[in-house]
Structures are given as structure tokens and as C-alpha cells.
């Protein structure tokens, strides 16, 4: 079994409050969770208005599949909301026996 994880650093330049940021993030998280059936949540930068880190995890027995899913999620996030910019992302794989 392989667990694929990804941390994505997002910038929301038009955000002027935590309420606005959370509204944007909630929309993104719900859309990604629904479309890709993965676990996703905000994992850092909770108190910053314009920066957020979201974590994504999924499980499979095929690393190529996991890599494709995580890459598709990154592309999807870039295209679903023009108010959000991806600053950085890091993908890791954990092998469990």
C-alpha cells in the first residue's frame, strides 16, 4: 500500500480578511474532495489572510496512479479559482507493508 501526500502553498492576493480566505478555501476543498475522492484540509497558516497551506492524501497500490491524481489536483486547483495562485507544492509517497 502506498500513501500519496501533497502540501500546496496557496496565495490569495485579493483576500482582506480571514472570513474571505476561509470562504475561498472551503469552496476549493469541497470541489477537490468531491471530484477526486481524496482527503484534503487546511494544514498551516491559519491566521494569515492571504497565505494558506492545504494538505492532500490518497491511498493506492500504484505510485504512478497516485502521482497522476495529485498532479491532476494541482492542475485543477490552478484552474477552478482565478483568485488563488499556487506558490509551491511538495509531493511525497509513503510505502507501507
Mean pLDDT, the chain, rounded, equals 95
pLDDT digits (tens, 9 = 90+) for 46-63: 899 999 999 999 999 999
- Contact 91/2 with Cβ under 8 angstroms? no
How is residue 31 written as a grid cell?
A: 470541489
95 pLDDT exceeds 80?
A: yes
CATH architecture of 2-95: 2-Layer Sandwich (3.30)
- Contact 90/5 with Cβ under 8 angstroms? no
Q: Residue 97's pLDDT is what?
A: 76
Q: Residue 45's pLDDT is what?
A: 87
Q: Residue 1's pLDDT is what?
A: 92
- HEC string of the chain equals CEEEEEEEEEECCCCCCHHHHHHHHHHHHHHHHHHHCCEEEEEECCCCCCEEEEEEEEEECCHHHHHHHHHHHHHHHHHHCCCCEEEEEEEEEEECC
Mean pLDDT of 59-84: 94
Amino acid at each position: 500500500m502506498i500513501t500519496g501526500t501533497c502540501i500546496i502553498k496557496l496565495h490569495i492576493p485579493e483576500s482582506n480578511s480571514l472570513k474571505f480566505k476561509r470562504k475561498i478555501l472551503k469552496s476549493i476543498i469541497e470541489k477537490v474532495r468531491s471530484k477526486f475522492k481524496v482527503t484534503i484540509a487546511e494544514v498551516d497558516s491559519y491566521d494569515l489572510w492571504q497565505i494558506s497551506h492545504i494538505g492532500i492524501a490518497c491511498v493506492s497500490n500504484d505510485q504512478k496512479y497516485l502521482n497522476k491524481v495529485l498532479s491532476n489536483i494541482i492542475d485543477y486547483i490552478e484552474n477552478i479559482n482565478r483568485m488563488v495562485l499556487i506558490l509551491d507544492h511538495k509531493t511525497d509517497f509513503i510505502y507501507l507493508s
